[in-house]
Structure 1
């Protein structure tokens, strides 16, 4: 059973205590809300590194946020820490000068699936289609991070008036960190990153943990693993399901699982993005509302800041925080990683966060859905045709 601590307050400098800090079995976990708490914790861990830093992100930008992280990574590299940075070539936007400064300090970088045409059209489009959407940071093999937060000013926290996107991240200490390390190193080696010093990455054992597990996609035997975990957990639900997912375009199987749960009396509530950076997804998602509303699923649209979080809790005991959206690309194609936690105190903290987020939401009713203007119905239906690529 975990022991929770009250949420921390964000200071003017953008630093903050975690939203909740808990012990779960042999793990120490901290729920981090938005960029302020996440960046503070990540930079603190990076600056304390003594041996190795493994850093993987979908979005890395050459902006104030990116430069702050680059400075911290360069400082540690100059101090003798082995620093490896893996970023997605499609999602990121970094200049040659930015990379040159990293390389000059000894930081090794690797772009995932750069868009180069090698003469085979199918291979070219496969590189575009499959992206590295994971967010992983491992420091000295003992401290890990994962969740939804990227490295960019979208999460701007450096000024008092800036709050940035709404997102959730997780800090971990314990056996699950070895699994994050394994996943990073496998991708690094497979895509021909610079040779690593194996002695710095000696794992204490990728041993299973029933309370805190790391689940991901794009590994042999784990294709669709996150979707299966969601479906099995939803199928077992008896009381309540709480999902926050920014890009809510579930596969048919997940749609069926949620509808069946609601029809058997489970209280299913979903927070989706009313304010988003990808309007096409919002329109396609809205086209699905009727199927959920008819089954009794309650849908709440978040408004204000852009919503980017990907979390869920079931029956106050099962939870997940990660990078995976509930859409086809995340569940079947992209590299993704989620932490799955089975602990009542952890679930209670996420449920409290869900309830607080409802204050920024408007519930969608069947009357609202039928009152959509004609142009929105047309756009939504058209966008739904391309749901597999959104």
Structure 2
């Protein structure tokens, strides 16, 4: 199982090759998938004009193929994977003509690849102490290697990890290329192979197997060679059922029942929604029509060196802007990417002793989300498990497959029913009156540890997207948990009454400060703390502003960022190259071009970045909120605000600095037309 994804062991058996009594040279029918249940043998590898020509056999037939840089498989949703190249089939005659004058490339049999893999495994397992384990991520698979308390070695998936075993290390194999080549070089020296280029047999079989690896030792690169184009699965589509679910949730639950269960909240939300819509639309038109033209002739100044705003004064100002009651304390660890967050979340769920409280905008029904649901169902037999999802967010996600969905995944009809079926999971699916929602993502374990940030529960967050979460401890956990409990109470039948009863029975309890100061900032229907704090931070900044967000549609924020740059502030913005909402992608083009026009540095992150983080002169604000109307005005959101120098430096070092390097900086406007302008108008109300 360990390292199977790069060719250590066979993958499942699917299509049997017809038996033949003798080996013969054949041309595969065009409709035949080159999929093998037994490992193929490489007979010859040749190199010519940037192309690799292969002759290989399954013991019955000989096959011919060609691969080059032009045949690289599009794995843009998996930036961290080893590159994969498609081996295109050739006829015997075409192969014979193409390889005239080609140079031979040394090829090594499966036993050498297996010996190399065993060396890697031994290196990893030698570091595993009794009672601990190491997680190894390869492609979109994970293997947990651990030693039992008696010292014996075993392996499993992380979700099958025994409760008494501690997750000690977490690695992605593709990120260990330097170490892998040290092992490979040492092994090749022992067998006397000096060649720069090699083709090694891996022994992989089954669908989408990579039976060969082209190795460039000088550049330290592995190039996986595939015989079958990779295809991704999709979610089962049920238009009638989906329409019925949407109608029931939006019109019956979120309007008719809502007026009975939460009449005060529902009507007040309607009034606030109408007011915010009118105000934001008027302000957006005013800013676009009158304020931006005033800046047209402004010169773009050099960056000034006057230093940053005083953080002590800024915190005092924040007390006046959002209230001193937003202050708490604690410590925060950054978890960048699904490889860092989800293993920690799973480990915490497995180790929970009393309670698990999970709150998310989307709980999907893809393969990874279902496995996590299974874990929660299992744990509900021993501890209190509460799951709270946004009804509309989860419903909309049910019909959209992740980019790398396994084609054999059997999705349940609905994740909310799946979670509660034959389990003790307590679940609340929140309603969406007036199309507002709960976009918060938090998980509290045993009232001691809280995860908070931008990741929902689903495959794209685990394997595909660039995203950010935090794990917090200290008094801040009590604040985050109290917000969960308040929302849980409000989500019950007669929620306005239950919520009022909860608030009367559970007043906030002061806690002894521990760690460094932290603010819990929220977006509520009546209080836009996240928006107001960041708007004022932009206005106060004197040195630098770094922002990474998937959606930039708030005209006022864009205008204030432009004004900040025109007073000499170093303003940098990162947006995704490939967003997940078409209208927001089109709107981002308009925002990027506007910012670029006035000297703001705009970076496009390769693939999808779902990170929601910003730093203003040493004050960080990060969490679940986008830079759009829904996150700033309508939805419930939760961010953390931190001025601690150590934390802010860590955020810049682990998120912004590497992402600036990975992204492409725009040096000219993106192509745009009337469609982008129209999209920005629509997006400003989303």
**TM-score after normalising by structure 1:** 0.80
1:347 aligns with 2:653: no
| Residues 138 and 288 (structure 1), Cα distance of their counterparts in 2 relative to 1, 3 Å cut | same
Which residue of 2 is the match for residue 102 of structure 1?
419
Long gaps (5+) in structure 2: 1-133, 144-157, 159-168, 172-327, 399-411
Which residue of 2 is the match for residue 56 of structure 1?
359
180-189 vs 289-298, which moves further: 289-298
Q: How far apart are residue 99 of structure 1 and its match?
A: 3.6
Answer yes or no: is the 8 Å Cα contact 1:147–1:323 preserved in 2.
Answer: yes
Query: 1:271-294 CA distances to partner (integer Å, 9 max, x unpaired)?
Result: 012211112112112113343223
Answer yes or no: is the 8 Å Cα contact 1:54–1:85 preserved in 2.
Answer: yes
Q: Distance in 2 between matches of 1:327 and 1:280?
A: 12
Q: How far apart are residue 250 of structure 1 and its match?
A: 2.4
Q: How far apart are residue 101 of structure 1 and its match?
A: 4.6
1:239-258 paired onto structure 2 within 5 Å: 239-252=543-556, 254-258=557-561
Which residue of 2 is the match for residue 180 of structure 1?
480
Answer yes or no: is the 8 Å Cα contact 1:325–1:331 preserved in 2.
Answer: yes
Answer yes or no: is the 8 Å Cα contact 1:178–1:203 preserved in 2.
Answer: no
Q: How far apart are residue 10 of structure 1 and its match?
A: 6.6
Q: Which has the higher contact order (CA 8 A, sep 6+)?
A: 1
Answer yes or no: is the 8 Å Cα contact 1:175–1:205 preserved in 2.
Answer: no
Partner secondary structure for residue 339 of structure 1 = strand
Answer yes or no: is the 8 Å Cα contact 1:328–1:388 preserved in 2.
Answer: yes
Answer yes or no: is the 8 Å Cα contact 1:179–1:206 preserved in 2.
Answer: no
Answer yes or no: is the 8 Å Cα contact 2:365–2:414 preserved in 1.
Answer: no
In structure 2, which of residues 564, 584, 608 is the aligned counterpart of residue 306 of structure 1?
A: 608
| Residues 75 and 203 (structure 1), Cα distance of their counterparts in 2 relative to 1, 3 Å cut | farther
Q: How far apart are residue 57 of structure 1 and its match?
A: 0.6
Q: How far apart are residue 295 of structure 1 and its match?
A: 2.9
In structure 1, which of residues 127, 134, 143 is the aligned counterpart of residue 449 of structure 2?
A: 143
In structure 2, which of residues 410, 427, 431 is the aligned counterpart of residue 113 of structure 1?
A: 431
| Residues 101 and 321 (structure 1), Cα distance of their counterparts in 2 relative to 1, 3 Å cut | same
Q: Distance in 2 between matches of 1:90 and 1:267?
A: 39
Query: 1:20-66 CA distances to partner (integer Å, 9 max, x unpaired)?
Result: xxxxx962321001111111111111112122211111111122221
Q: How far apart are residue 153 of structure 1 and its match?
A: 0.8
Q: How far apart are residue 137 of structure 1 and its match?
A: 0.5
| Residues 207 and 284 (structure 1), Cα distance of their counterparts in 2 relative to 1, 3 Å cut | farther
Which residue of 2 is the match for residue 171 of structure 1?
471
In structure 2, which of residues 572, 579, 582 is the aligned counterpart of residue 269 of structure 1?
A: 572
Partner secondary structure for residue 394 of structure 2 = coil
Which residue of 1 is the match for residue 291 of structure 2?
none
1:238-387 paired onto structure 2 within 5 Å: 238-252=542-556, 254-303=557-606, 305-315=607-617, 317-352=618-653, 353-365=655-667, 367-369=668-670, 372=671, 376-387=672-683
| Residues 326 and 207 (structure 1), Cα distance of their counterparts in 2 relative to 1, 3 Å cut | farther
| Residues 168 and 208 (structure 1), Cα distance of their counterparts in 2 relative to 1, 3 Å cut | farther
Which residue of 2 is the match for residue 87 of structure 1?
389
Q: Distance in 2 between matches of 1:153 and 1:322?
A: 20
Partner secondary structure for residue 383 of structure 1 = helix
Partner secondary structure for residue 320 of structure 1 = strand
Q: If you compute each CA radius of gyration, which structure gives the higher value, 1 or 2?
A: 2
Partner secondary structure for residue 368 of structure 1 = coil
Answer yes or no: is the 8 Å Cα contact 1:217–1:224 preserved in 2.
Answer: yes
| Residues 244 and 224 (structure 1), Cα distance of their counterparts in 2 relative to 1, 3 Å cut | same
In structure 1, which of residues 209, 214, 225 is the aligned counterpart of residue 529 of structure 2?
A: 225
Answer yes or no: is the 8 Å Cα contact 1:143–1:177 preserved in 2.
Answer: yes
Long gaps (5+) in structure 1: 1-7, 19-24, 115-122, 158-163
| Residues 256 and 381 (structure 1), Cα distance of their counterparts in 2 relative to 1, 3 Å cut | closer
| Residues 360 and 203 (structure 1), Cα distance of their counterparts in 2 relative to 1, 3 Å cut | farther
Task: Give 4+ residue runs of structure 1 displaced > 4 Å after superposition.
Answer: 14-18, 93-98, 193-196, 201-204, 206-210
Q: Distance in 2 between matches of 1:274 and 1:97?
A: 31
| Residues 138 and 359 (structure 1), Cα distance of their counterparts in 2 relative to 1, 3 Å cut | same
Q: How far apart are residue 225 of structure 1 and its match?
A: 0.8
Q: How far apart are residue 212 of structure 1 and its match?
A: 1.1
| Residues 259 and 43 (structure 1), Cα distance of their counterparts in 2 relative to 1, 3 Å cut | same
Q: Distance in 1 between matches of 2:663 and 2:511?
A: 40
Partner secondary structure for residue 92 of structure 1 = helix
Q: Distance in 1 between matches of 2:553 and 2:439?
A: 16
1:32 aligns with 2:330: no
Q: Distance in 2 between matches of 1:203 and 1:75?
A: 33
| Residues 245 and 97 (structure 1), Cα distance of their counterparts in 2 relative to 1, 3 Å cut | closer
Partner secondary structure for residue 211 of structure 1 = strand
Q: How far apart are residue 260 of structure 1 and its match?
A: 2.1
Partner secondary structure for residue 558 of structure 2 = helix
Partner secondary structure for residue 141 of structure 1 = coil
